[in-house]
Structure 1
Amino acid sequence: MATGSDFTFPALVGQLHDLLGNVAGAPTLEQIREVCDVLYSSSLLKEEGRAVRARVILAPPEAFATAEGPPDGIHAVRFSVTHALTANEIKRLSPAASFFHSVVAVWPDRDRGFRIWGILNTGPRWLNLVAGGRKPLGSEISYPIIHVRDPGWVLFYNGYNLMAEWRGREFHGPRMDVFQSRLLNERFAGHRIRLVEELMQGCLPATMESTAYADLAHLISLQFVKRIINLVRTSGHGGSLLIVPTAKEGSDVATSWIDCKYSAAPDIAGLRFRRLLQSIIRRVGQLSPMGCSTEEAWEIFRNSNDRELDRLEEAFFELARLFSDLMQVDGALVLDSGLGIVGFGGEIRVDRNVLHVGMALDLDGRNVKQWKVQSDGTRHRSVYRLCSVEPEVIGFVISQDSQVRMIANVDDSVIFWAHTMI
């Protein structure tokens, strides 16, 4: 079993063991090693021609109530007879324990090793971490969950927090959530301030300061982009999303470097994202108490059962789905910095070789290691070239194998961030 340079299998096993150390009947280090091997083996199998995909939780039966269920709780279906944990058993159970809605529950039984004792129906809200959904996650899970994601790809979580990945012959620690990066915050700061200023005169309730409204707009915008990317990832198609400078400068970038087979007319339809976002922050302001902070407003946005907010959320989701569908066409989807459609089916035509880029090891892009681009695909290399000549462009590239990179120009150097995934 090989290890990567920045993470090791023994370190992962030790972390899992420590997480379970205070639980009665906790597995030994050797048992944890065995369960990891079994789940990796299951990832290499096929169920009726499809890759095995499953989530497996390491937790005892008594950890879950008997009368709860989604969306806020967990529905535990306990087997009357436990089953041995094997790769084939995970394969057989994977259709019943849908990856997006349920987990297979396992726990050691004395000297018999890990046994499958049931299925937990969690519901899909946990996907909001990457899909940008508004509703909260529901019940917190404080046990390790292992995702059998794709052939040779296993991810290890403490509840819903990524600990490590095992991919092919390498281990590494968690990737970054690029949506927490300072670059995204700073690049769009001016745009969201202008958006709020347009509404401040009599249109926005005085329950929040303008800065709180601007920060809320930023958080909601990130949720929207998350949804687009997740929808493309789950389609299995892959694609590229380019965000170019807005207004006249944005048109110049698209005209100079990108041939869009389908260009959007510059009419009011292109402002739909902006108008929906303004409606959402206005409604949150109406639902908020006086002096509301950004954090409090965000919780209201996520937890409110307000019918108008639900309607706006549905419209927001459908717009994200439209954008993801546009990315199914060969070529890039091009948006301006207000997330209006410039065009899609975009072909980047930058006649410039970029042989090396930087791989960011932190969110700020200060700690970077050199990356040779020869092993990357056409999508990645074309976005590298565009960012090398247009420093204000931000690109997201989703591979067919579901990996996500954010690409940008920082201090005249092209770098990318490998985004954390579920």
Structure 2
Amino acid sequence: MAKHNTVVRHLVGYDAPQIPNSMCGPDALAELLVHARKWRKEAFGEDGGAGDAAAKLTDDGLRKLISLTFYTSLLPEEGRYPRFKLVCRRGRSEQTVARFDPVSLSESQLHRLAPACTRPDCALLVTEGESGLFCDGVERVGGLAYSVQPGRIGVLAEGRAAELLVEVFGPGHFRATEVYPGYEYKAGKVRALTGFDAPPAAKSLVKAVQGRILKSLDKSDEERNSGISIDVQTAVLYVLARMLRAAVEARHGGAFVLLPPGVTKPESCKLRVLHRTTDLHLGRDLEEHCAACQDADGRRSSIATAEQSRAKLLTNADMVANFSMVDGCVVLGQDLRVFGFGAKIEVTSKAASDGLKFTNVESGEVFENHEFMKALGGTRHQSVARLCQAHPGVMVYTVSQDGDLKLFSSDAKHAYVYGPLDLPTIDGEVIVT
């Protein structure tokens, strides 16, 4: 039963091959990446978009890297399995931390090097030579990969992002992205990745928050279509991504419930909030930050005010992520006001079964409630699913202990679940200009 929906980003004109429905090996993922890069070469030429986008690996080198990643992920060390990242890029980068003598990569050598990149903000740099694959450096893939320029809103990349990124989450569980789409291999299955902001409910949320901020800045309709609008949207997306990334990397599990538009009382959606919060409002923090950026005129005092608002915004986003590690849900409004955490979902099975049905958008299949819940998984996901069924307009990001991120949502007609969701790995910082 294909209960999960996907929103896959492809380059215009690219007809992606069918992803295997049955159990398969990691070579199936490698072939999907090779298929996409071959199309880019035909569409753009070696020296055009394809040459810039593809990692400096041969097709066989890419296949070997995926195989090496898979088998290394299966090697335990004192009962623990490695978690690490690999990057490939063209040329040198400001994001490189250190270069060292090339190490010829085998499963044992990669397993030996992997602990150097256990933390989420660094990765091993992989290159290809005549005799195979090598690791010859370490790269930043965290916030330090970007420069901060006081006085501007936005994310300023210093250098360019890696052409190929591979993330290992556990035994036989990894993701690989070379341009778009990215793919995940887990439990013998391949799935195309959906961006955390791609589902319709997420798009609506970002657009609504963006609109409120632009209105608070007293921007005209013409200005709302200009660069400031893009800057504000980037800031909103970054704050959400930062919050979700912190929760995913913690591997504790959790859920972020966003109430339907206009709803300000969690109890109206059968949510019992154990720890209510006051004065924690990420939407207001974003407004204050963008206003401070707008008022920054080059003077030290105005830039300091803007930087203080930036620090407050990012610190509060991290705090909301931390609240998700307390048993229960974090509850927010559609304006990103935080109502509390440790919330219990008290929607009964009957209320859910009498409510909306989950559906697959692509196939149009509508799932019977009993079968859907049985296929869905654990208590957290089932509780969240019931909440969406009983209360149209709710959306919930769920984080599993193994790092899976999903989005549950509902509208007036149906309920939906999207996943696995992909988060930007190379962080930027929301900055003031």
Contact 2:388-2:408 within 8 A present in 1 as well:
yes
Aligned to 2:255: 240
- d(CA) in 2 for partners of 1:121 and 1:9? 23
Cα distance change of structure 1 residues 278 and 211 upon mapping to structure 2, 3 Å threshold: farther
Cα distance change of structure 1 residues 189 and 91 upon mapping to structure 2, 3 Å threshold: closer
Aligned to 2:126: 106
Aligned to 2:33: 12
Which AA in structure 2 matches 1:10? E
Aligned to 1:291: none
User: Structure 2: 5+ residue runs without aligned partners?
Assistant: 1-18, 23-27, 147-152, 426-433
Which AA in structure 2 matches 1:5? N
- d(CA) in 1 for partners of 2:216 and 2:165? 45
User: Identity rate of aligned residues, in percent?
Assistant: 17
RMSD: 3.8
Cα distance change of structure 1 residues 360 and 90 upon mapping to structure 2, 3 Å threshold: farther
Contact 1:216-1:281 within 8 A present in 2 as well:
no
- d(CA) in 2 for partners of 1:397 and 1:135? 26
TM-score (norm 2): 0.72
Contact 2:210-2:236 within 8 A present in 1 as well:
no
TM-score (norm 1): 0.74
1:40 aligns with 2:70: yes
Aligned to 1:297: none
- Which deviates further from its counterpart, 4-13 or 40-49? 4-13
Aligned to 1:315: 312
The alpha carbon displacement at 1:162 in A equals 5.0
Cα distance change of structure 1 residues 386 and 319 upon mapping to structure 2, 3 Å threshold: same
Aligned to 1:420: 422
Structure number with greater CO (CA < 8 Å, separation at least 6) is 2
Residue 250 of structure 1, aligned match among 261, 264, 267: 264
Cα distance change of structure 1 residues 331 and 198 upon mapping to structure 2, 3 Å threshold: same
Aligned to 1:275: 284
- Which deviates further from its counterpart, 141-150 or 32-41? 141-150
SS in 1 for 2:417: strand
Residue 85 of structure 1, aligned match among 85, 93, 105: 105
Which AA in structure 1 matches 2:204? E
- How many aligned residue pairs are there? 371
Contact 1:153-1:168 within 8 A present in 2 as well:
yes
Aligned to 2:273: 260
Which AA in structure 2 matches 1:379? R
Contact 1:245-1:392 within 8 A present in 2 as well:
yes
- d(CA) in 2 for partners of 1:29 and 1:182? 35
The alpha carbon displacement at 1:410 in A equals 2.8
Contact 2:397-2:408 within 8 A present in 1 as well:
yes
SS in 1 for 2:359: strand
1:19-418 alignment to 2 at 5 Å?
Answer: 29-58=59-88, 63-65=90-92, 69=94, 73-79=95-101, 82-110=102-130, 112-116=131-135, 118-125=136-143, 135-141=155-161, 143-158=163-178, 163-173=182-192, 175-186=193-204, 193=211, 196-197=214-215, 200=218, 209=223, 217-245=232-260, 249-251=263-265, 253-264=266-277, 269-270=279-280, 272-286=281-295, 306-353=303-350, 357-360=358-361, 372-375=372-375, 376-418=377-419
Which AA in structure 2 matches 1:114? L
Contact 1:126-1:137 within 8 A present in 2 as well:
no
Contact 2:169-2:402 within 8 A present in 1 as well:
no
Which AA in structure 1 matches 2:96? I
Which AA in structure 2 matches 1:113? G
User: Structure 1: 5+ residue runs without aligned partners?
Assistant: 289-304, 362-366
Cα distance change of structure 1 residues 278 and 143 upon mapping to structure 2, 3 Å threshold: closer
Contact 1:103-1:121 within 8 A present in 2 as well:
yes
